[in-house]
Amino acid sequence: MSLTSILLHQALNGLVLGSFYALVALGYTMIFGVIKLLNFAHGDLYMAGGFVALLVLSAISGIVGAGWPGIFLAMLLAMIAVGCLGVVIERIAYHPMLGAPRLSILITALAVSLVLENTVLALTNGQYAAFQTSLGFGGVAIGGLFITYSEMVLVGMAALLMVTLELFVTRTQYGRAMRAVAVDTDMCALLGINVPTVIGVTFFIGSALAAAAGTMAGAYYGSLWYFMGFLIGLKAFTAAVIGGIGSIPGAMLGGLVLGMLESFGTQIPGIGSQWKDVFSFVVLILVLVFKPTGLLGRSEQERM
Amino acid sequence: MNRFGRLAVMAAMACAIAGPAFAQGTIKIGVEVPTTGAEATYGRDMANAVVLAQDEINKAGGVLGKKLTMVIGDDACDPQQAVNAASKLVSQHVLAVVGGYCSGATLPTLKIYGDAHVPFVITASNSTKLIPANPGNAFMINSTGDQQATKAVAFLAGKGAKTLAIVNEGDAYSQDLANLTRADWTKAGHKVVAYETASSGQQDYSAIVTAIRAAKPDAVFWTAYYADGALLIRQLRQAGYRGIIAVGDGSNSTKLFAIAGAAAEGVFCFTNPTAQFLPAAKAFIKAYKARFGSNPGPYAPLTYDGMKLVAWAMTKAGSTASAKVIAALKTADGVQWLTGPIRFTKHNTLARSNFIVLEDRNNAWVRADK
Amino acid sequence: MASDARVLARLAGPLAGFLSRGIGRWIALALLFAAMAAAPFVLGEYATVILTNALLYVVLALGLNVVVGYAGLLDLGYAAFFAVGAYTVGILTLRAGMNFWLTLPAAVAVAAVAGVVVGGPTLRLRSDYLAIVTLGFGEIVRITARNLPITGMASGLSGIRQPWLFGWHIATPRDFYYVFCVLATAAAIVSARLSDSRLGRAWLYVRYDEDAAEAMGIDRVRVKLAAYVTGAIIGAIGGAFFAVNLGAISPPSFSFSQSVSILMAVILGGMGKIPGVILGAMIVVLGPELLRSLGEFRLLVFAIGLLLIMLFRPSGLWPGRSHAK
């Protein structure tokens, strides 16, 4: 492989990886926007989405097959189910804690994450589950670059979801309410906006996006594991911070930037794959220390 | 058998089950395996094999006129939990321990069994790091990592490979095997063109795949477990890598096929002989299936042999005193076990290499080195 | 779990009241020490090993309690300092042939420096950012230990020798049990002294109202850093003794789940309260041993317990509010 070809491939890898990061980062950032909570359980919703989709797919693959149509259907159902799960979690665990000290609510979020992980651990006995699909490895070669159909569909799907989200947030009443709540919750309540509903909708959308990412990851990589949300949760948080936490375009940008950074970073001589995760955590710490508002975030005075 | 005889057998079995109550009449053997955690399937499989061996021995009259009983210590494949489990076994006065799956978890237990003078037959763990840490009471009946490396290098070189990429998962077992293979491959005059480390549970191997494709090795050797190995194989093939792919004994699982699917076609696996490739194991497989309803896993035969070896050593020593049993184990020779003859080196490791090579044909393992 | 917790809390109520009064307190302490001294002889070797493990958790949880309970900083990478202590001792004794007791100050110094380097820039951040940064730091330490030859890579270090103290070879589980008894007692005394000190009150102030604290002339970053570094040092001491006790250390012992276990110990019993933290550490270690028959479900039981505690009794199982006085 020539150097150009390697760079092109890494760019493609970065794009695929970045799409997953961005979808998960969006949920982080939206939820952070409305209730200023770092939802530790968000990565686990990605995991849950993958498992729900696998259940659905194995139930319906006899009728619609295990190709893209079946996967889309499974993804849609997983999005709805996990979206509802997100709303339930918010109602049960976070809502009663909103007035509590920041420390308590963070620990609660951690507890929710542990409950989700260990539920799946107990149900799956800690084993990897194979996500069997009928997707092949076909694709097209453009120049020195070979792109599989799966990669195209995946990136296209991610883009579609993000555009839909952007339209929802900027063009609909709920979207505007969501942005208003992010700016000033109390004022919104005074103006008659139903803040709990807006928060619920935000959790639904954020969780559904994570479930979509989980489904696509399952179909693309071929396996699921109860702990698969941990690392991507951390990475997606990093992406959200790079883009500027609370900013929706920022989460998309941050996801892509992190995907690219990881892809190219591991090719730097002396770094290598064994330092891949260290590399992203160092980037995270540097961004937080030197530019905590990220690339597109608003500067905020609050510090807690 | 008349009714009386049957009653007697049942009474004997009841005694075996009621073990602790008849402590002076039984010999208690500890079984250290992971029964929880990601490696639990292997651990339960090993425990099942011990149950089979125990029942057969007891049916044939036990050891030194006493029945064998077993007690399981769950190490969860975690060093700290392994220490707890080992201490628990020791405090229950086991007279020998069989098992040991994850090398990283087995390592810190060596000292505990050593201090307590308990003979320990290690039936799966095979990292070479265990050898210097062995206080003298432990015996490894699986071939060690260096023997696997030797096998891998000979086989891959025999396939015409000159350049090799090695990928491990950053745990004790796979890193050990990766380093040993790298050393042997270089010593054989070939080149290691890529040496990569993945993280357990990482889904995306694109960075490693690109690095491998850039290095264009004739063969890729995955030294870790099947779950992540399947993902690497899939992504390598998906990216168009056409060379040889080989995996170590930790990936000897049919689950590799479930995840990697058609991508695993033609993958080679270096492994200790699993039951289906052991001519002597037909009856064992049948008994195992009848008892547990599934095929024995990759470490069942070795662990079965481990239990039988302990019984043999006690019988030979004519005593359960640890020093005598350890001395007897050292002299093990000439007996044909399920997995072949067992004889130990001066380091208490298996004196021969038991590794065979398998190949995936239509998602089933077949012998590739015959 | 929930009803157990409530029963336990109800039982512990009058007991705690009794313990906090003059003579009762001394009698209780004397009984406690007598029980601790007698335990290995009464309970046998396995229980001694498990209790030693529990005492190690008491030390670690008390250290983390300074960070989380006193200063209100969520640290999700505490195992990193535990690792720093263990590896410093392991490397210096094995590779440089140093005496264990001489490596202890080195372990403390390395942990303090690491605490300042990580804490210095990040303690200015919002608390949720801090949680993630500490988590990232924990993973960085673990992965680094896994990748470097000096730390023995994935297999870790083995053959770390048990130390001698004035002719006493600390080698058997019982020896280590008594060593950890001393360590846990020392950690409890240090914690109690700290919480009553000027610094302790500054932590309390910063925890309740950071801005007001700063207006009163408290340098909040410095005060937080003091807590973070104190926690780091206690963690490193725990790690140092962990290394000589086990004789072998490897990266899996310093994973994120280890950090979470220590954090659980702090929260279940009641953060900020020394008896609560001790109770929490006992539950975290003894619970899984007692629940062994549940297999994979035992972690779930803990996770649900943690969630219920946060929702219904955020002050923990031990009665009374944190910092009651």
Give the Å distances, CA to CA, from C270 to C4, C309, C314: 16, 9, 8
The three-state (H, E, C) secondary structure of A40-91, written as one string: CCHHHHHHHHHHHHHHHHHHHHHHHCCCHHHHHHHHHHHHHHHHHHHHHHHH
Residue of B nearest to C45 (CA): B91
Q: Could you report how far apart the first and last alpha carbons of chain C are, in Å? A: 29
Pseudo-torsion of CA A162, A165, A170, A174, nearest 10°?
A: -170
Listed by start position, the domains of chain C span 43-312
> Which structural domain, as residue segments, surrounds residue A132?
3-290
B240 touching chain A per CB within 8 A: yes
Residue among C57, C155, C249, C300 with most chain B CBs within 10 A, to mutate: C155
Q: How many CA atoms lie within 13 A of C100 on its CB side?
A: 20
Quick one: pLDDT at residue B299? 92
The three-state (H, E, C) secondary structure of chain C, written as one string: CHHHHHHHHHHHHHHHHHHHCHHHHHHHHHHHHHHHHHHHHHHCHHHHHHHHHHHHHHHHHHHHHHHHHHCCCCCCCCHHHHHHHHHHHHHHHHHCCCCHHHHHHHHHHHHHHHHHHHHHHHCCCCHHHHHHHHHHHHHHHHHHHHHCHHHCHHHCEECCCCCEECCEECCCHHHHHHHHHHHHHHHHHHHHHHHHCHHHHHHHHHHHCHHHHHHCCCCHHHHHHHHHHHHHHHHHHHHHHHHHHHCEECHHHHCHHHHHHHHHHHHHHCCCCHHHHHHHHHHHHHHHHHCHHHCCHHHHHHHHHHHHHHHHCCCCCCCCCCCCC
Number of A:B CB contacts under 8 A? 101
Looking at beta carbons, which residues of chain B come within 8 Å of A217?
Answer: 203
pTM above 0.95, yes or no: no
Residue C246 Cα, gap to closest chain B Cα (Å): 7
What is the number of structural domains in chain A? Answer: 1
B35 touching chain C per CB within 8 A: yes
Looking at beta carbons, which residues of chain C come within 8 Å of B182?
Answer: none
**Per-residue confidence band for A147, with pLDDT thresholds at 50, 70 and 90:** confident
CB-CB: which of C246, C250, C295 is closest to B172? C250
Determine the average pLDDT of the residues in C211-215: 84
Determine the average pLDDT of the residues in A32-54: 93
> Minimal CA–CA distance to C258: which of C106, C124, C139, C123?
C139
Average pLDDT, chain A: 89
User: Do B3-143+277-341 and B146-271 have matching folds?
Assistant: yes
Chain C interface with B: residues with Cβ < 8 Å: 44-47, 49-50, 53, 143, 146-147, 153-156, 158-159, 171-173, 246-253, 289, 292, 295-296
Q: Quick check: C172 pLDDT over 90?
A: no
B134 Ramachandran zone, left/alpha/beta (phi>0; psi -120 to 50): beta
* Domain contains A299: no
Looking at beta carbons, which residues of chain A come within 8 Å of C72?
Answer: 101, 103
CB-CB: which of B35, B115, B133 is closest to C159? B133
pLDDT by residue (tens digit) across A68-97? 899 999 999 999 999 999 999 999 999 998
Q: Quick check: C14 pLDDT over 70?
A: no
Average pLDDT, chain C: 87
Quick one: pLDDT at residue B12? 46
**Per-residue confidence band for A246, with pLDDT thresholds at 50, 70 and 90:** confident
Output the tens digit of pLDDT for each of chain B's 370 residues: 444 444 444 444 444 444 444 445 899 999 999 988 778 888 999 999 999 999 999 999 999 999 999 999 999 888 888 988 998 899 889 999 999 998 889 998 998 999 899 999 999 998 888 999 899 999 999 999 899 999 999 999 999 999 999 999 988 889 999 999 999 999 999 999 999 999 887 888 988 998 898 899 999 999 998 989 999 999 999 888 999 999 999 899 888 998 898 899 999 999 988 888 988 899 999 999 999 998 898 899 999 999 999 999 999 999 999 999 999 999 988 788 898 899 999 999 999 888 999 999 999 999 998 7
**Contact (CB, 8 A) for A33 and A67:** no
Look at chain B and count its residues.
Answer: 370
Q: Map residue A148 onto helix, strand or coil.
A: strand
Look at chain C and count its residues.
Answer: 325
**Per-residue confidence band for A1, with pLDDT thresholds at 50, 70 and 90:** low
Q: Look-up: residue for tokens 């303690």? A: C123
**Contact (CB, 8 A) for A106 and A34:** no
**Contact (CB, 8 A) for A44 and A273:** no
* Domain contains A165: yes
Q: Which amino acid is at A141?
A: A
- Give the right CATH number for B3-143+277-341 from 3.40.50.720, 3.20.20.70, 3.40.50.2300, 3.30.230.10: 3.40.50.2300
H or E element in which residue A251 lies: helix A248-265
Q: Map residue A228 onto helix, strand or coil.
A: helix
Looking at beta carbons, which residues of chain A come within 8 Å of C299?
Answer: 114, 118, 121-122
Q: Map residue B346 onto helix, strand or coil.
A: coil
**Per-residue confidence band for A140, with pLDDT thresholds at 50, 70 and 90:** confident
A142 touching chain C per CB within 8 A: no
Quick one: pLDDT at residue A304? 35
CB-CB: which of B87, B107, B176 is closest to C248? B107
**Contact between C256 and A230 using a beta-carbon 8 Å cutoff:** yes
B227 touching chain C per CB within 8 A: no
> Minimal CA–CA distance to B162: which of B184, B189, B181?
B189
B97 touching chain A per CB within 8 A: no
Q: Quick check: C290 pLDDT over 60?
A: yes
Q: Quick check: C118 pLDDT over 70?
A: yes
Looking at beta carbons, which residues of chain A come within 8 Å of C69?
Answer: none
* Domain contains A300: no
Quick one: pLDDT at residue B312? 95
Residues paired with B71 in a beta bridge: B30
User: What percent of chain C stands above pLDDT 70?
Assistant: 92
CB-CB: which of C72, C146, C307 is closest to A108? C307
Which carries the bigger pLDDT value, residue C248 or residue A202?
A202
Residue C127: CB atoms within 10 Å: 19
| Cα–Cα distance measured from residue C236 to residue C104, given in angstroms and rounded to the nearest whole number | 9
Quick one: pLDDT at residue C13? 58
Quick one: pLDDT at residue A112? 95
Q: Map residue B365 onto helix, strand or coil.
A: strand
Looking at beta carbons, which residues of chain C come within 8 Å of B127?
Answer: 155
- Give the right CATH number for C43-312 from 1.10.3470, 2.40.128, 2.40.10, 3.30.200: 1.10.3470
Q: Could you report how far apart the first and last alpha carbons of chain A are, in Å? A: 50
Q: Quick check: C79 pLDDT over 70?
A: yes
| Cα–Cα distance measured from residue B217 to residue A271, given in angstroms and rounded to the nearest whole number | 20
Question: Residue A123: which CATH number?
Answer: 1.10.3470
Give the Å distances, CA to CA, from C92 to C97, C102, C105, C107: 6, 9, 11, 9
Q: Interface pTM (ipTM) of the complex? A: 0.87
**Per-residue confidence band for C10, with pLDDT thresholds at 50, 70 and 90:** low
* Domain contains A302: no
CB-CB: which of A9, A223, A267 is closest to B227? A223
List of residues 6+ apart from B109 with CB closer than 8 A: B32, B75, B82, B83, B85, B86, B100, B120
> Minimal CA–CA distance to A295: which of A266, A263, A262, A255?
A255
Look at chain A and count its residues.
Answer: 304
* Domain contains A303: no
Quick one: pLDDT at residue A106? 87
Looking at beta carbons, which residues of chain B come within 8 Å of C52?
Answer: none
**Per-residue confidence band for A299, with pLDDT thresholds at 50, 70 and 90:** low
B114 touching chain C per CB within 8 A: no
Residue of C nearest to A227 (CA): C257
List of residues 6+ apart from B294 with CB closer than 8 A: B288
Q: Which amino acid is at C137?
A: F
H or E element in which residue B74 lies: strand B67-74
Q: Quick check: C141 pLDDT over 50?
A: yes
Quick one: pLDDT at residue B29? 96
Number of B:C CB contacts under 8 A? 84
Q: Supply the DSSP symbol for A94.
A: I
**Per-residue confidence band for C6, with pLDDT thresholds at 50, 70 and 90:** low
What CATH architecture is B146-271?
3-Layer(aba) Sandwich (3.40)
* Domain contains A163: yes
Determine the average pLDDT of the residues in A19-36: 91
Residue B130 Cα, gap to closest chain C Cα (Å): 10
